[in-house]
């Protein structure tokens, strides 16, 4: 007698009630609210859950954590929270989105998924300087993540570009490793929160170089210098460093939308007060949308509101 072993199907599920693009604070919060409401939910994330906060050394202004916590830990806690209620997280990149009268198609490197509602919470990426040598030395001395790469610069001289809150906060972290840090700021004054500026006053490793701009990166196999220019005198000089960390702003991760949604001049997604976009059934939350403040707390609030509106949208759609 012959027996045939039944093999478990490895075919992935591709149809969900709700889909979320991005597993940062906004996306994971939306996933918690949706899955807890018994909405069948999938989250797409091309990198690691937590989004940009996962590369942040320390977060001090998120309510409920008076002593602060690392961005990586907060991201991991949010991920576990969403999984607890049944959300599915797919570690794949979304390459496109298409709409028809019934469903929303989410195109990925591993096939196409469909959903009845979509939340775009794809966040932002660090802005690059677009100066000579920058592309050549990314990963070879140039970094956008102090928490990721600081240990590689133990005892070295480095540059941080940007004296906003991110630049100053990450410089304080980098000072635990580097021998010296020069912060190059385009403006004539730093724009960081005062509490952060107070902290660098007593740090003899950190020096501010105000009203200067970076005009090039120099080196052979790896970075060996950063060329800067005074915006007051035009004088140019090379800072002999082996590392450069860039914090000059953020740009929205919206390329995969290919013009599907209305955006502002900086490509952030436009929404109404209920986080609806220009297309029915599509909502946007967190840093990727047009907003006056981009913080973990505001992203979490967006995620909760977007999920609530998706639930109401699906209820109305099912009634019809």
How much of the chain exceeds pLDDT 90, in percent?
A: 83
What does the pLDDT read at residue 31? 98
192-203 residues labelled b (16+ CB within 10 A) or e (exposed): beeebbebbeee
CATH architecture observed for domain 16-125+250-319? 3-Layer(bba) Sandwich (3.50)
Within 10 A of 244 (CB to CB), how many other CB atoms are there?
A: 26
Q: Is 6's pLDDT higher than 50? A: no
Helical (H) or strand (E) element with 93: none
Closest CA to 210 of 200, 225, 224, 218: 200
Q: Say how far apart CA 87 and CA 79 lie, in whole Å.
A: 9
Parallel, antiparallel, or unpaired for β 111-120 and 15-21?
parallel
Tens of pLDDT, residues 281-310: 999 999 999 999 899 999 999 999 999 999
Residue with tokens 């942040």: 56
- CATH 3.50.50.60 domain locations along the chain: 16-125+250-319, 128-246
Q: Could you tell me which residues come within 8 angstroms of residue 243 by beta carbon, excluding any fewer than 6 positions away? A: 141, 142, 143, 149, 152, 153, 156, 157, 158, 159, 178, 223
Within 10 A of 53 (CB to CB), how many other CB atoms are there?
A: 22
Q: Say how far apart CA 223 and CA 246 lie, in whole Å.
A: 14
Give the distance from CA 168 to its chain's centroid: 18
How much of the chain exceeds pLDDT 70, in percent?
A: 96
Q: Which CATH superfamily is domain 128-246 in?
A: FAD/NAD(P)-binding domain (3.50.50.60)
Tens of pLDDT, residues 184-219: 999 999 999 999 999 999 899 999 999 999 999 999
pTM: 0.86
Which segments within 149-284 are labelled E, that is strand? 157-161, 180-184, 206-209, 212-219, 223-230, 236-239, 243-246, 250-252, 282-284
Q: What average pLDDT does the segment 165-175 reach? A: 95
What tokens were used for 75? 């991201």
- Tell me the three state secondary structure of residue 79: helix
- Give me the phi and psi of 58, to 5 degrees please: -145, 135
Percent of residues in the chain assigned helix, strand, coil, to nearest 5: 30, 30, 45
Q: Is 55's pLDDT higher than 90? A: no
What does the pLDDT read at residue 1? 42
What pLDDT band is residue 159 in, cutting at 50, 70 and 90? very high
Helical (H) or strand (E) element with 113: strand 111-120
Tens of pLDDT, residues 235-269: 999 999 999 999 999 999 999 999 999 999 999 99
Q: Say how far apart CA 83 and CA 281 lie, in whole Å.
A: 24
Give the distance from CA 139 to its chain's centroid: 18
What pLDDT band is residue 320 in, cutting at 50, 70 and 90? low
Helical (H) or strand (E) element with 19: strand 15-21
Q: What average pLDDT does the segment 139-151 reach? A: 91
Q: How far is CA 131 from CA 81, 97, 134, 216, 245, in A?
A: 42, 33, 6, 5, 14
What does the pLDDT read at residue 54? 83
């Amino acid at each position: 007698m012959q027996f045939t072993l039944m093999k478990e199907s490895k075919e992935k599920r591709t149809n969900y009630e709700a889909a979320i693009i991005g597993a940062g604070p906004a996306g994971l919060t939306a996933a918690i609210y949706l899955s807890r409401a018994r909405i069948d939910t999938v989250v797409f994330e091309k990198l690691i859950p937590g989004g940009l906060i996962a590369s942040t050394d320390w977060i001090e202004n998120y309510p409920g954590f008076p002593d602060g916590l690392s961005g990586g830990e907060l991201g991991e806690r949010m991920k576990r929270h969403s999984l607890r209620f049944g959300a599915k997280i797919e570690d794949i990149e979304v390459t496109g989105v298409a709409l028809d009268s019934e469903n929303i198609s989410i195109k990925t490197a591993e096939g196409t998924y469909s959903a009845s509602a979509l939340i775009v919470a794809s966040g932002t990426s660090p802005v690059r300087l677009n100066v000579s040598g920058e592309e050549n030395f990314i990963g070879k001395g140039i970094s956008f993540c102090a928490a990721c790469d600081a240990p590689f610069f133990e005892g070295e001289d480095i540059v941080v570009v940007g004296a906003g809150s991110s630049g100053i906060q990450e410089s304080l972290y980098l000072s635990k490793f580097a021998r010296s840090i020069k912060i190059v700021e385009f403006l004539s004054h730093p724009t960081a929160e005062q509490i952060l500026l107070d902290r660098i006053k007593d740090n003899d490793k950190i020096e501010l170089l105000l009203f200067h701009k970076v005009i090039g990166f120099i080196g052979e196999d790896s970075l060996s210098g950063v060329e800067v220019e005074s915006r007051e005198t035009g004088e140019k000089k090379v800072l002999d460093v082996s590392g450069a960390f860039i914090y000059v702003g953020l740009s929205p991760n919206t390329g995969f939308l290919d013009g599907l949604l209305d955006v502002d001049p900086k490509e952030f997604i436009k929404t109404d007060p209920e986080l609806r976009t220009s297309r029915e059934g599509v909502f946007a939350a967190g840093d990727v949308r047009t907003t006056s403040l981009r913080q973990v707390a505001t992203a979490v609030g967006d995620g909760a509101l977007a999920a609530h509106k998706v639930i109401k949208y699906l209820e109305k759609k099912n009634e019809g």
